[in-house]
A and B are shown apart, each in its own frame.
Chain A
């Protein structure tokens, strides 16, 4: 009973925040609403016992996306006044209303016609999980049963980073992303950026390793590492690397490369692309996860840092 009341309160708050994020005229306020929405949504996932999804939603949906949007807003500040002065006509409003209502109605209809009980592969996963050697079914699905999806996801992230980089002006190509952050070296931010990363790194490694048998894994871990890196960058304790640095580029592609190599190996050792021979499943999954960690960390951190914006000397 109390559980239902809490669920209802969360859902109502979630809806209110969603409306707020859409109707707020000030972009910064809208993002504040969106971040709160993401954090609340992760609470919903916890209540649905989807702890893995909750961790990812809090880290990526609330944290990383929120930080990216704030960066975008500060860049758009100059144009915001002009955008606010613009008024669209009544016809556009009616069209937008009809379109939104149509999409909402279609989605609601889809949810209502879902078969009950829903078709599920969960029993098969539970039955065959032992073959993979991992205890967390989410990790098992991501890296064994649906490994192709995870591989493509990692590649998409790398392509997204290339897309961001390609926004750089010609003369800055190969330079350093973003502005050099200047902060008081004795200030609270520098202190924070010295104190937190060691803890964060330990925690990230724990989440990474625990991901085999408990909620967690490379994605959540990489987000924490990227956040620590960003903190150090923002405190001015370190500079972003030049994007033509060989080691950096290797770190970015190593995950997908190792994943593909092991996948091709599966063709010969287990008879199918991305298949693992049973006795080697666990070690191979660990190798793939370890290789994906630097890729994800670097890509997430560099996506946040943005396009190369200055030449930057040295290596």
Chain B
């Protein structure tokens, strides 16, 4: 059982790392602010979610696991809000060159 959980952790964290890498590549390669944001939010949301899910079975207590989930939710909230703000600022700059 423990082996299986460890395997699950490894798969999930590696998948999360892949999303972070893909997000970073997108940030560097995509042409404008909107597509870059698109790449970045994938890394924040999916990548971090997979890392957190992967770490959950490794936690000693339910409380520590809940804290991890809370961290993910907070990052989700702030990255969603900030990317909207950045996109809006980019759009405003487009309209008034």
Binding site for B on A (CB under 8 A): 187-189, 191-192, 195-196, 199
Contacts and interface: CB of A to CB of B under 8 A. Distances in A.
Chain A facing B: main interface SS = helix
A214 B88 CA distance: 41
Nearest to A195: B77
Contacts of A188: 80-81, 84-85, 88
A191 B74 contact: no
B74 A199 contact: yes
Nearest to A191: B81
Contacts of B78: 192, 196
B41 to A, nearest CB: 13
Interface in B69-83: 74, 77-78, 80-81
Interface of B: 74, 77-78, 80-81, 84-85, 88
A192 B74 CA distance: 11
Contacts of A189: 81, 85
A187 B84 CA distance: 10
Contacts of A192: 77-78, 81
Contacts of B77: 192, 195-196
A191 B80 CA distance: 11
Nearest to B73: A199
Nearest to B80: A188
A195 B73 CA distance: 12
- Which 9 pairs between the two chains have the least Cβ-Cβ distance? A192-B81, A188-B84, A188-B81, A189-B85, A188-B85, A195-B77, A189-B81, A196-B77, A192-B77
16 contacts: A187-B88, A188-B80, A188-B81, A188-B84, A188-B85, A188-B88, A189-B81, A189-B85, A191-B81, A192-B77, A192-B78, A192-B81, A195-B77, A196-B77, A196-B78, A199-B74
Contacts of A191: 81
Contacts of B88: 187-188
